[in-house]
Amino acid sequence: MTSKERFDLTVNHRQPDQMVVDFGSTPVTGIHVQSIENLRRYYGLESKPVRVSDPYQMLGEIDQELMGIMGVDVISAKGTKTAFGFSSHGPEKEFVTPWGQTVLVPEGFRTTKDENDDVLIYPEGDTTARPSGRMPHSGYFFDAIIRQQPIDEEKLDPQDNLEEYGLVSDADLEYWKETTQKARATGKAVIAGFGGTALGDIAHIPGIKLKNPKGIRDISEWYMSILTRPEYVRALFESQSELALENFSRLHKATGSNVDAVFICGTDFGTQDSTFCAPEQFDDLWLPYYRRINDWVHDNTTWKTFKHSCGAVETFMSRFISAGFDIINPVQVNAKGMDPALLKKKYGKELVFWGGGIDTQKTLPYSTPGKVREEVLQLCDIFAKDGGFVFNTVHNIQANVPVENIVAMVDAIREFNGR
């Protein structure tokens, strides 16, 4: 059975020959560059700088050799730009990280250091603009720099928060056509990150790709706006959804069946112990627009729709189903109420769980290889029954995770899959 065939059975809630595995196909299922370098060294692969695939989170590219070792079944079709707005392709250069690792970055990855020795990065790689990201000198990834302009309530316009969105160009359509064709040729399942549907995702709200972002760009101000400016939020989501559906129509004509799943939204609704908003607010502000997007996808394509939300969102699972999502990630099994057996029993016939294969807050970074193996096997036994489960960790594997623990996870996956 090919990875693609295995994936098709899984997302349609049928039992495949082996559990589907993903590492690196999305910005929320990846591995930090430091951990990738450690894995390559452990497995005796060629010593070379790891390519940074996501500069914001400093996630690394998992090449074909490492994909083979880790048993990866899913591959990504990514866009032409990074989160900071510069090209993710073209010329590359070496960059020495604050922790001393030499990595490969796109040419537009341009940085300076401030008086605290923090690394500053710039929108579109333009160092004459204000920096939009900061990596603390002791850190391992970038944080958004908030560049909120003074808010004049009378002049506040939802269109200002749409500046980074627009119709896909003919050049972009050709790019997506070629990219998804190449991805399909690998025999793996393909998930595409077309963008444009991140309704209220705080990774996008600060506008780190923009030189002079307008509108509501402060994260705290955004969360308050859900209560104090609901009409603004609703108008923004309305315009964004209309634009997204027009783009999806064009993109589907270009990519067709070369895409198996599409990353819709990374908006988090959960904290460790609760949710960011009341269910009624979700129903009012998000659900109608999610439903419109997902309905269009299901009525016009064969794509499955992927929703990311961290945290204690068991009480929102039925709403994610009502909104039309096929897939939920990362399945934060260590958050309040996120009992794996309960989730599988209540929602496993309607939602595909993509993630949840091991706790990345405590077990993977701080436990022993034996405990890692035990947890992976236990969670796979729960989630993988009758399909509907793609193995990944609970969000990205971070820096400084003992390589022996990551290897123990990989070995446990192979053990579960009978390999």
Q: What is the pLDDT, as a whole number, of residue 419?
A: 77
Query: Residue 370 burial by CB count (10 A; 0-12/13-18/19+): exposed, middle or buried?
Result: exposed
Residue range 284-298: average pLDDT? 97
Domains in the chain: ranges and CATH: 3-91+148-416 (3.20.20.210)
Backbone phi and psi for residue 393, each to the nearest 5 degrees, phi listed first: -75, 175
Asked whether the predicted pLDDT for residue 90 surpasses 90, the reply is no
Give the CA distances from residue 39 to residues 259, 275, 392, in Å, rounded to whole numbers and listed in that order: 29, 35, 16
End-to-end CA distance of the chain: give it in Å, rounded. Answer: 14
The three-state secondary structure class of 231 is helix
* pLDDT digits 0-9 by tens, 321-378: 999 999 999 999 999 999 999 999 999 999 999 999 999 999 999 999 999 999 999 9
Q: What share of the chain is helix, strand, coil (3-state, %, to 5)?
A: 40, 15, 45
Residue range 308-327: average pLDDT? 98
Best CA proximity match to 392, nearest among 348, 328, 321, 339: 328
Of all residues in the chain, the percent with pLDDT exceeding 70 is 100
Q: Look at the chain and count its residues.
A: 419
CA gap 302, 257 in Å, rounded? 7
Give the CA distances from residue 331 to residues 232, 259, 310, 348, in Å, rounded to whole numbers and listed in that order: 31, 23, 7, 12
- Which structure tokens are listed for 343? 């989730």
Give the CA distances from residue 409 to residues 71, 358, 387, 402, in Å, rounded to whole numbers and listed in that order: 12, 8, 20, 11
Q: What is the pLDDT, as a whole number, of residue 20?
A: 98
Of all residues in the chain, the percent with pLDDT exceeding 90 is 99
pTM: 0.97
The sign of the torsion formed by the CA atoms of 352, 319, 279, 216 equals positive
CA gap 6, 125 in Å, rounded? 40
Asked whether the predicted pLDDT for residue 127 surpasses 90, the reply is yes
